[in-house]
Amino acid sequence: MAPTTDETKTFAPFRPAAAILRQQLADPDSLLVCPGVFDGFTARIALDAGFDTLYMTGAGTAASVLGQPDLAIVSLPEMAGNAGMIAALDRNVPVIADADTGFGSSLAVARAVKLYSQLNVAAMHIEDQAFIKRCGHLRNKALVSLDEYLVRIRAADRARKECGRDIVIIARTDSLQSLGLDGAIRRLKAAHSAGADVAFLEGLLTKEQCQEAVQALAPIPCLLNIVGGGVTPALDAAEAKAMGFKILLWPILSLTYTYVSVKKAMRELKEKGWSEPLPGGEGGIKDIFEVCGIEEAAAFDREVGGSTLDGGFF
């Protein structure tokens, strides 16, 4: 079979993921429902389900890459590398990624923004916790001053302008516990004035607080974070959209189901010496390879004249 050449097959021009995300956010009727993914496999499953925006969780990255809790242990190269790998799986599906506190000083924040941008990550959120941070749904979080927080946001805004990439900057505040709703809203408004595009008030406690926050921050686009077992009520997409949120994250969805399913299977294998097949044989090697793109890989190989996957593979 003769290989397909560029003269006989056209390709869509590259479009930065940030531009796609900005278009999604500009749609007045849209709510971006983003499942949390933590590696290439969970990202592939989310893409196969048809999601048009993904979220790379920092907690999931810490757990999957290092086997550690979400306590500022993951370095910038590890976090950005994971985000970039996920973003590369489908360039038309924007990835929003955790960037913790920005990984240090204003110079570290700038480096993070440029690295995430180069990897075609669509958006990153930067928070106002002290450098040794905690998951947003844990207690006793330490904050930096408002001035230090705004240095991070201004550094992010300046860095994206310098690198010519319009990555979306999401300002996250974890100040609700210590400063109250009014204080948290003041921080987010100041961050927006400093260059942030989206407001992320972490750890909202009630539906009433959710509604009040969106109204107080309008017209700034707002993000709602639903963490299983966390403090924020589990609003569904219809409720979040009705309140006026633009982005809805379920950050540990993949982590939760991985934990529950794998734990059950491991216990079964340990106790019984075998693992019971799932109904219908779901989850076999064929399913796994297919969701990871083996058909697309075979098509690519054929089109360039290769024979790596000739003869089939199942």
Note the pLDDT tens digit of each residue in 7-64.
Answer: 567 778 889 999 999 999 999 999 999 999 999 999 999 999 999 999 999 999 999 9
At 5, the pLDDT band (50, 70, 90 cuts) reads low
Which position among 34, 90, 116, 135 bears the catalytic label? Answer: 135
Residue 133 and residue 235 in one domain: yes
Residue 197 and residue 281 in one domain: no
Residue 35 within any structural domain of the chain: yes
Residue 184 and residue 284 in one domain: no
Residue 245 and residue 165 in one domain: yes
CA dist., res. 50 & res. 48, Å (int): 5
Q: Tell me how far the alpha carbon of residue 157 is from its chain's centroid.
A: 19
Asked if 305 and 56 count as a contact pair (C-beta separation under 8 A), the reply is no
Residue 188 and residue 158 in one domain: yes
Catalytic (active site) residue 140: no
Residue 155 and residue 290 in one domain: no
Residue 189 and residue 59 in one domain: yes
Neighbours of 224 (CB within 10 A): 25
The amino acid occupying position 247 is I
**Residue bearing tokens 């913790």:** 100
- Asked whether residue 172 carries a pLDDT value surpassing 70, the answer given is yes
Which position among 39, 90, 98, 128 bears the catalytic label? Answer: 98
Which position among 39, 90, 127, 197 bears the catalytic label? Answer: 127
Residue 88 within any structural domain of the chain: yes
At 3, the pLDDT band (50, 70, 90 cuts) reads low
Catalytic (active site) residue 125: yes
Q: pLDDT for 69-96, tens place per residue?
A: 988 889 999 999 999 999 999 999 999 9
Residue 188 and residue 241 in one domain: yes
Residue 189 and residue 281 in one domain: no
pLDDT at 170: 98
Residue 34 within any structural domain of the chain: yes
Number of folded domains in the chain? 2
301 or 256, which is more confident: 256
Which position among 34, 39, 44, 55 bears the catalytic label? Answer: 55
Residue 255 and residue 298 in one domain: no
Mean pLDDT (the chain, rounded) = 91
Residue 264 within any structural domain of the chain: no
- Asked whether residue 4 carries a pLDDT value surpassing 60, the answer given is no
Of 134-143, 206-215, 264-273, the poorest mean pLDDT is in 134-143
pLDDT at 308: 78
Catalytic (active site) residue 100: yes
Catalytic (active site) residue 225: yes
pLDDT at 51: 98
Domain termination site, one of 213, 228, 259? 259
Catalytic (active site) residue 70: yes
CA dist., res. 97 & res. 1, Å (int): 42
Residue 168 and residue 306 in one domain: no
CA dist., res. 236 & res. 151, Å (int): 35
pLDDT at 133: 66
Domain extent at residue 309: 277-314
- Asked whether residue 6 carries a pLDDT value surpassing 70, the answer given is no
Nearest Cα residue to 42 out of 60, 27, 21: 60
Of 185-194, 199-208, 295-304, the poorest mean pLDDT is in 295-304
Catalytic (active site) residue 292: no
3-class SS letters over the chain: CCCCCCCCCCCCCCCCHHHHHHHHHHCCCCCEEEEEECCHHHHHHHHHHCCCCEEECHHHHHHHHHCCCCCCCCCHHHHHHHHHHHHCCCCCCCEEEECCCCCCCHHHHHHHHHHHHHCCCCEEEEECECCCCCCCCCCCCCECCHHHHHHHHHHHHHHHHHHCCCCEEEEEECCHHHHHHHHHHHHHHHHHHCCCCEEEECCCCCHHHHHHHHHHHCCCCEEEECCCCCCCCCCCHHHHHHHCCCEEEECCHHHHHHHHHHHHHHHHHHHHCCCCCCHHHCCCHHHHHHHCCHHHHHHHHHHCCCCCCCCCCC
Any idea what the CATH number is for the domain that residue 96 is in?
A: 3.20.20.60
Residue 181 and residue 287 in one domain: no
